[in-house]
């Protein structure tokens, strides 16, 4: 299992509106190996808000399939022109341990 986080820093007040872009189907949900997506919104600090877009994949190959797909290119078209975005970083994590209630 692979979790990929895209941390996007935006101007204060812009986080909730940007998060709504991820509420609509953009093709990722149809990709082989896609498990789920979560969008987390952090509180503002010094005029900056943070969004964490977390996608869970069966494996690295599934994630690479998404990033090389036409659906990926279409869903990210025009993102560079958003003046409220101050920066972004991408991180990947491999699941080593998972616990559920009662285990």
pLDDT tens for the chain, residues 1 to 103: 999 999 999 999 999 999 998 888 778 999 999 999 999 999 999 999 999 999 999 999 999 999 999 988 888 776 656 789 999 999 999 999 999 998 7
Question: The whole model's pTM is what?
Answer: 0.86
45: DSSP letter: B
Determine the straight-line distance between the first and last CA of the chain, rounded to whole angstroms: 19
96 close to 22: Cβ distance less than 8 angstroms: no
Q: Of 96, 82, 62, which is closest to residue 14 (Cα–Cα)?
A: 82
What span, in angstroms and rounded, lies between the C-alpha atoms of 39 and 7? 10
What span, in angstroms and rounded, lies between the C-alpha atoms of 56 and 100? 17
Q: Which domains does the chain have, with CATH numbers?
A: 2-94 (3.30.70.100)
So what's the pLDDT on residue 16? 93
So what's the pLDDT on residue 75? 81
């Amino acid at each position: 299992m692979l979790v990929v986080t895209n941390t996007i820093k935006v101007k204060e007040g812009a986080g909730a509106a940007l998060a709504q872009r991820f509420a609509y189907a953009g093709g990722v949900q149809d990709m082989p190996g896609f498990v789920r997506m979560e969008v987390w919104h952090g509180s503002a600090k010094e005029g900056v808000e943070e969004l964490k877009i977390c996608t869970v994949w069966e494996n690295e190959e599934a994630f690479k399939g998404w990033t090389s797909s036409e659906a990926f290119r279409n869903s990210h078209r025009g993102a560079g022109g958003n003046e409220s975005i101050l920066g972004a970083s991408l991180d990947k994590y491999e699941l080593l341990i998972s616990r559920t209630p009662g285990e």
